[in-house]
Homo-oligomer: A and B are copies of this chain.
Amino acid sequence: MAIVVQKYGGTSVGDVDRMKRVADRVARTHRAGNQVVVVVSAMGKTTDGLVTMAQRISERPPERELDILLTSGERISMSLLAMALHDREVPAKSFTGSQAGIITDAVHGRARIVDITPGRVQDALDQGNVVIVAGFQGVSQDTKDITTLGRGGSDTTAVALAAALKADVCEIYTDVDGVFTADPRIVTTAEKISYVSYEEMLEMAAQGAKVLQVRSVEFGRNHNVRIHVRSSFSFSDGTWVGPEEDSVEDAIISGVAHDTSEAKLTIQQVPDRPGVASRLFSALADDNINIDMIVQNVSADGRTDISFTLPRGDCDKARAVLDPLCHEIGAVGVRVDNDIGKVSLVGAGMKTHPGVAAKMFGALSAAGVNIEMISTSTIRVSVVVAGDQVETAVQAVHAAFGLGADGLPEVAE
Contacts and interface: CB of A to CB of B under 8 A. Distances in A.
Interface of A: 16, 19-20, 50, 53-54, 56-62, 64-66, 68-69, 71-73, 75-76, 78-80, 82-84, 86-87, 92-94, 96, 99, 120, 144
B16 A53 contact: yes
A128 to B, nearest CB: 15
A121 to B, nearest CB: 13
18 contacts: A53-B80, A54-B79, A61-B86, A62-B82, A65-B82, A65-B83, A65-B93, A66-B79, A68-B75, A68-B78, A68-B79, A68-B94, A68-B96, A69-B79, A72-B75, A72-B76, A72-B79, A75-B75
Contacts of A144: 99, 120
Contacts of A54: 79-80, 83
Oligomer copy total: 2
Would you list the 9 A-B pairs with minimal beta carbon distance, nearest first? A69-B79, A58-B87, A68-B79, A72-B72, A61-B83, A65-B82, A58-B83, A72-B75, A65-B79
A80 B57 contact: yes
Contacts of A61: 83, 86
A182 B113 CA distance: 57
A56 B80 CA distance: 10
Contacts of A78: 68
A68 B61 CA distance: 25
A147 to B, nearest CB: 13
A87 B57 contact: yes
Contacts of A75: 68-69, 71-72, 75
Nearest to A75: B72
Contact of A69 (B62, B76, B96): B76
A68 B50 CA distance: 18
Nearest to A76: B72
Nearest to A17: B56
Contacts of A72: 72-73, 75-76, 79
Contact of A58 (B69, B84, B99): B84
B16 A57 contact: yes
A23 B144 CA distance: 25
Contacts of A73: 72
Contacts of A79: 54, 65-66, 68-69, 72
A84 B62 CA distance: 10
Contacts of A94: 65, 68
A69 B65 contact: no
Nearest to A56: B16
Contacts of A53: 16, 76, 80
A108 to B, nearest CB: 12
